[in-house]
Amino acid sequence: MAARRATKKLTASKTELLKYYRDMLLIRRFEEKAGQLYGMGLIGGFCHLYIGQEAVVVGLESVAMEGDKRITTYRDHGHMLACGMDANGVMAELTGRIGGYSKGKGGSMHMFSKERDFYGGHGIVGANVPLGAGLAFSDMYKGNKNVTFTYFGDGAANQGQVYETYNMAELWKLPVIFVIENNQYAMGTSVKRATKSSSFWERGTAFSIPGEQVDGMDVLAVRAAGQKAVKHCRAGKGPYILEIMTYRYRGHSMSDPAKYRTRDEVQKIREERDAIEQVRGRLLDAGATEAELKAIDKEIKDIVNASADFAKESPEPDPSDLWTDITIDA
Amino acid sequence: MATEILMPALSPTMEEGTLAKWLVKEGDSVSAGDIMAEIETDKATMEFEAVDDGIVGKILVAEGTEAVKVNTPIAVIVEEGESASDIKAPAAPVAAPEAGESSPTSEVMADARPAQPAVDRSPDYPDGTEMVSTTVRDALRDAIAEEMRADDTVFIMGEEVAEYQGAYKITQGILEEFGARRVIDTPITEHGFAGLGVGASWGGLKPIVEFMTWNFAMQAIDHIINSAAKTLYMSGGQMGSPIVFRGPNGAAARVAAQHSQDYAAWYASVPGLKVVQPFSAADAKGLLKTAIRDPNPVVFLENEILYGRAFDVPKLNDFTIPFGKARVWREGSDVTLVSWGIGMSHTLEAADELAKDGISAEVIDLRTLRPLDMATVIESVKKTNRCVTVEEAWPVASMSDHIGSEIMREAFDYLDAPVLKCTGKDVPMPYAANLERLALTSVKEVIDAVRTVTYR
């Protein structure tokens, strides 16, 4: 992959690899279950699955420290699980139940956890970019070393407010990492059909923001790039752009017939570049046994099944909740 | 364990579909993610993937079958060594709960709005308080400075707020006192800095975001509504946005269509926002201090023509005015005049003129539009039996329309005449001086409306 990619061999300990394997597998199995519950009519509206992109959030969470913040768009389930939010609460929000992170009032695209410093979950493409810069502004104002991971897609990368934000972020040296998850399709429009300037990280150079393109199917490549980015931000040098080349296996949303790409294209990436399979291979090389990995598979399956049960059993919000949480009493 | 595969819902509106084609046959092994079938929905043909690993034990619905209801079992997946007959009695289809089904009281609750507060006629400040003549401009600046002194998390950002001292000099001296960390000039980028402000409010700060005029905030309205107003609700109460958006609103003088719109009704329609439109300097100060302390997003609509106007402001260390409390400027018995913001100028002048002809007008300044003090208006209308509203915004879907409908609902039997409204005209603001005068409401229009409703 293109410019500035780290060339030195990437390694990680078996313990680290086991964690990444577990975290990525949790996202994949969770999303498969969400797709299933959607099919059963238990999840309504829009539901955007993260399957295929797991290495992006798991790689970056591995470099986050306490107090760091994250914010993303509507394809948000993976980000929530990766930052330690509870699978039950996420799944119950998907089914619109009181046990969900937003008490059933937000749904798939609008979930938050102040406790885990997860600031959404935003349905307006591009809007979370200045919001993320604002979170970073608050850390700079308070004078701490925290950074904000601001995730958005190749589609959002064409929104005007992204560049308004780049301009302010570099001007004020905000500790924000702009993470462009380039999964190559903005809904049904491929990058090629949306822009003649398809190297998104390079757009930062117009604002003097450094950045790089990263192989998003390799969790260790993501981690290495993340380490560089947080170091830059924590040193007070301002924002950093990571354009992470990734791929979503499923449709844009559950109701996407996906006629804009071939089944072979998807299948080829799944077979040759799958992030979880790569870590699995590395783990076996590092001496992990099939039995060890099977035990993780089982543990994850249990967590996901339990979350689905919780999400079915948790009651709907009380009708009186219609009128709560509109404003805070002053 | 054998598992039934159910006909999936593949769009938010799908109830049934055609099982167009099976891509697996009985006895095939499948892994999670393998395409099993093609299903035609009301919108498109979709591929349907396996969720679990296993073997296709039995296909229950043949390809080509139309109108297969969502959640009908269509196949059975078994594990190695099992047969399809291992599955127990067919599971009942899992139905999604219907909205409102869970409680018979749902519909009643859905119409049950929170109780409206009672009339509060307590004075804004104690009798005998020393008063100082102050312009609206200086009152706003004093409010900002006092709150910034009291709370380090309060900061102000916007175009020309720092070194230029404010495009309308509201922030005169603020940079000098508080420094560049808390008084921040932004590039001309309303959409971006409004969003940045909301993010900062989630990060524990209390931003004051100045728009050079509210007309420019149309570039930022997505963040005011989608990001600031809705997030508390969408987060189940976790994430408040303590932020103030402020600046001049409505017509100034001869600045034409793109710089002259009054946004009162637009923002007042949005649950999650608080909306303030002060007239006097005392209200501007007391309400802005309240706005900065409020844990919710506040839209604070000022007026350029009023900036230079002086009013008495109470000399108090910490003078605040609560939201949702109208002010009765003069008591009267023949008609209730309801206004706010610069509309109050026309209204008070009209009341003086009417008094000369023996018509006694009660004048109510709403001061805040959300929350809206309808209790004070209704109480007054029950006394005078007549009402005229006065505002500079456009007439269609205006605040006046809302107030009129509330009066009909709460005081219909008390009305002796229809509620009339004096508003801006239903045209973009013209530049020519004579046309601009015609486009705005006027003292004469208010007087004419009062004569109409009082039949005098």
Indicate the pairing of strand B131-135 with strand B310-314. Answer: antiparallel
Q: Inter-chain contact B196–A103, Cβ cutoff 8 Å?
A: no
Cβ pair A141:B47 closer than 8 A = no
Catalytically annotated residue among B146, B147, B159, B190: B190
| Predicted local distance difference test score (pLDDT) of residue B93 | 46
Asked if residue A10 belongs to a domain, the reply is no
Distance CA A323, CA A306 (A): 31
Dihedrals φ, ψ of B452, to 5°?
A: -65, -50
* Unique residue bearing structure tokens 């239903």: B426
Residue A8's pLDDT is what?
Answer: 63
Which chain A residue's Cα is nearest to B182? A141
Residue A164 falls inside a structural domain: yes
Among B31, B71, B238, B269, the residue to mutate for chain A (most A Cβ within 10 A): B238
Within chain B, all domains assigned CATH 3.40.50.920 are found at 327-454
Say whether pLDDT at A3 is over 50.
Answer: no
Confirm or reject CATH 2.40.50.100 for domain B3-86, answering yes or no. Answer: yes
pLDDT of residue A330: 83
Give how far A90 is from chain B: nearest CA, Å. Answer: 12
Query: What residues are paired with A113 via a beta bridge?
Result: A118
- When CB atoms are compared, the residue of B41, B96, B189 closest to A168 is B189
Peptide bond into B371 cis (omega under 30): yes
Domain membership flag for residue A4: no
Contact A270 B237 (CB under 8 A): no
Cβ contact A167–B189 (<8 Å): yes
Please give the ipTM for the structure prediction: 0.95
In a domain, A174, yes or no: yes
Q: What are the C-alpha distances in Å from A282 to residues A19, A36, A268, B333?
A: 13, 30, 20, 86
Task: Give the residue on A whose Cα is nearest the Cα of B184.
Answer: A172
Name the amino acid, one letter, at A299.
Answer: E
Question: Chain A residues with CB inside 8 Å of B44's CB?
Answer: 255, 257, 259
**Closest to A161 (Cβ–Cβ): which among B95, B102, B195?**
B195
Which chain B residues are closer than 8 Å to A105 by Cβ? 233-234, 236
For residue A4, pLDDT beyond 50: no
The DSSP code sequence of B199-227 is HHHHTT-EEEEE-SSTTGGGGTHHIIIII
CA distance B263 to chain A (A): 21
| Residue A3 forms part of a structural domain | no
B316 has pLDDT over 80: yes
Over residues B304-325, the mean pLDDT reads: 98
CA pair distance B29, B78, nearest whole angstrom: 9
Distance CA B351, CA B338 (A): 11
State how far residue A211 is from chain B, nearest Cα, in angstroms. Answer: 21
Q: Which pLDDT score, from 0 to 100, does residue B47 have?
A: 80
pLDDT average, residue stretch A272-287: 95
Find all residues with CB under 8 Å of B237, minimum gap 6, and list them.
Answer: A103, A324, A325
- Dist. CA B15–CA B95, nearest whole Å: 11
CATH of the domain at A290: 3.40.50.970
The size of the A-B interface in CB pairs under 8 A is 228
Q: Where in chain B is the domain with CATH 2.40.50.100?
A: 3-86
Q: Are A253 and A123 a contacting pair, CB within 8 Å? A: no
CATH of domain B327-454: 3.40.50.920
Q: Do B199 and A71 touch (CB under 8 A)?
A: yes
pLDDT at B82: 77
The 10 Å Cβ neighbour count of residue A47 is: 23
Q: pLDDT tens across A74-106, in order?
A: 999 999 999 999 999 999 999 999 999 999 999
**Known active-site residue B191:** no
CB-nearest partner of A102 from B110, B227, B235 = B235
The rounded distance, in Å, linking the Cα atoms of B407 and A103 is 36
Q: Are A323 and B114 in contact (CB under 8 A)?
A: yes
pLDDT for residue B89 is more than 60: no
Rounded percentage of chain A residues whose pLDDT exceeds 90? 90
Tell me if B208 sits within 8 A of B241, measured CB to CB.
no
For residue A73, the number of C-alpha atoms closer than 13 Å in the C-beta half-sphere is: 25
The total of structural domains in chain A comes to 1
The shortest C-alpha distance from B335 to chain A (Å) reads 34
Query: What would the mean pLDDT of B156-182 be, rounded to a whole number?
Result: 97
Give the closest of A40, A105, A250 to B94, CB-based. A40
Judge whether B223 counts as a catalytic residue: no
Task: Pick from A28, A135, A304 the residue to mutate for testing the B interface (most B CBs within 10 Å).
Answer: A135
Q: Which two tokens stand for residue A12?
A: 């990680």
Q: Where in chain B is the domain with CATH 3.40.50.970?
A: 131-314
Count how many Cα atoms sit within 13 Å of the Cα of residue B84 in the half-sphere of its side chain. Answer: 17
A147-181 burial, b at 16+ Cβ within 10 Å, e below that, comes to bbbbbbbbbbbbbebbbbbbbbbbebebbbbbbbb
Q: Mean of the pLDDT values across residues B99-104?
A: 44
Nearest-Cα residue of chain B relative to residue A165: B192
Asked if residue A142 is part of any domain, the answer here is yes
Residues 6+ apart with CB under 8 A from A281: none
Residue A164 is predicted with a pLDDT of: 98
Nearest CB among A137, A319, A323 relative to B199 is that of A137
State which residues form the domain around A117: 19-311
Structural domain contains residue A11: no
Q: Is 90 exceeded by the pLDDT of residue A280?
A: yes
Please tell me which of the candidates B12, B43, B234 has its beta carbon nearest to residue A45.
B12
SS3 A242: strand
> Is A5's pLDDT higher than 60?
no
* pLDDT given at position B113: 67
* C-alpha distance from B147 to closest chain A C-alpha (Å): 16
Fold of B131-314: Rossmann fold (3.40.50)
User: Is the predicted pLDDT of residue B249 greater than 90, yes or no?
Assistant: yes
What is the average pLDDT value for chain B, to the nearest integer? 92
CA A169 to chain centre: 21
Report yes or no: B272 and B230 within 8 Å, Cβ to Cβ.
yes
pLDDT in tens, A100-154: 999 999 999 999 999 999 999 999 999 999 999 999 999 999 999 999 999 999 9
A42 with B204: Cβ contact below 8 A: no
CA distance A171 to A187: 32
